[in-house]
Amino acid sequence: GDSPWGYDVSGATPCLHSPKPNGTVSIYGALSSLPFTPDLVLEMVNHLYHQHPQTWGPYGFYDSYNLAVEPPWYSQALYGIDKGCSMLMIENYLSRLIWETYTNSPAIQKALEILAFSQRTGAKHA
C-alpha cells in the first residue's frame, strides 16, 4: 500500500481498531481547516511547497507524508475524495460559496427547522 507500513485502516472510534499515530500527516486534513485557521494552514502550505517539494504533484499536494521515519516518506497517491475536501474548503475560505449555497437551500432550511437547529447567539462566521 501507499504508506510506510502498507495500507492501514484507522480513525475515530468506532473503527476497525484504535488509531495508531505514527507520524503520518494527511495534508488534506490541514487544507480542510483553511477557513478556520487560515494563518496556520497557509504557513504550512508554503512550508511544504518550498521545503518538501516531494509533497507536490501534478494535481496539487499528494495525500500525506511522514518525517518520523528514515528516510522520510512521501505519498505519491492522489485520492479524489481528499481533493474534493480540499477544493471545497479552499472555496469556503475564499468566498463562503459552498456553505452559503448549502445553508440557503430550501431543503436544508426545512431540515434545520425540523431538527430545531438554530444559529447560536454571538456565533461568528469563519
Does 125 reside within a domain? Answer: no
pLDDT band at 89, cuts 50/70/90?
very high
Expressed as residue numbers, the domain containing 49 is 24-96
Does 80 reside within a domain? Answer: yes
Does 103 reside within a domain? Answer: no
Q: What is the pTM of this model?
A: 0.73
Our count of domains for the chain comes to: 1
The greatest distance separating any two alpha carbons of the chain, rounded to the nearest whole angstrom, comes to 53
Does 104 reside within a domain? Answer: no
Does 67 reside within a domain? Answer: yes
Does 29 reside within a domain? Answer: yes
Does 68 reside within a domain? Answer: yes
Does 91 reside within a domain? Answer: yes
pLDDT higher than threshold 50 for residue 7: no
CB burial string 61-83: b at 16+ within 10 A, e below: bbbbbbeeeeeebbbeeeeeebb
The per-residue pLDDT for 10 is 47
